[in-house]
Amino acid sequence: MTKQKKSILISFMIGFVILVGLDQWTKGLVVAHLKGHKPFVVWDGVFEFYYSENRGAAFGMMQEKQLFFFLIALLVLGAVAYLMVKMPTDRKYRPMSVCLMMVSAGAVGNMIDRISQGYVVDFLYFKLINFPIFNVADCYVTIAAACLVILIMFYYKDEDMACFAIKKHGNAEKE
């Protein structure tokens, strides 16, 4: 592994730890100050901090399927690890690296909750549109996924993505 690749992976891990820490810190604040209390209104009728325990996935779907979510998180982390190892060290790939770091941090942030408590603490509530309550880890995943879609559709070319292809071994026929 080159020195530059090590530097990129170390930066990834530092950012990852910071993001997971921020997610867990915000959830800790919410538990300490909002659990068992009325919501904290930031903008009346629009946005508030509202303590909620989510035992499902996005929008409360698939309640009580903790093992399934744990396995999905492991799958995501495995895919991110593969992509980070395969990713060239060119500066062009930094935005993708940041997005992968955010997806990983979001997955781990919510996985920590699922393992330690059996549910995920949610607290960000857009009351104006009655949007499902979410948390900082959810923000990481949503923002990163949207950015990845934009990057893949408009920034990276097919040849930029070829480095991630899984090579077949054996007697594959030539085209």
Burial class (CB in 10 A: 0-12, 13-18, 19+), 156: middle
Does residue 90 have an active-site annotation?
A: no
Helix (H, G, I), strand (E, B) or coil at 15: helix
The active-site residue, picked from 23, 90, 138, 158, is 138
Give the separation between CA 102 and CA 154, rounded to whole angstroms. Answer: 20
DSSP state of 104: H
Give the separation between CA 86 and CA 163, rounded to whole angstroms. Answer: 6
Asked if residues 107 and 76 have their Cβ atoms less than 8 Å apart, the reply is yes
The C-alpha R_g of the chain, in whole angstroms, comes to: 19
Query: DSSP letter string over 108-166?
Result: HHHHHHHHHHSSEEEEEEEGGGTPPPB-HHHHHHHHHHHHHHHIIIII--HHHHGGGPP
Does residue 122 have an active-site annotation?
A: yes
The active-site residue, picked from 44, 90, 113, 122, is 122
List, by residue number, the catalytic residues: 122, 138
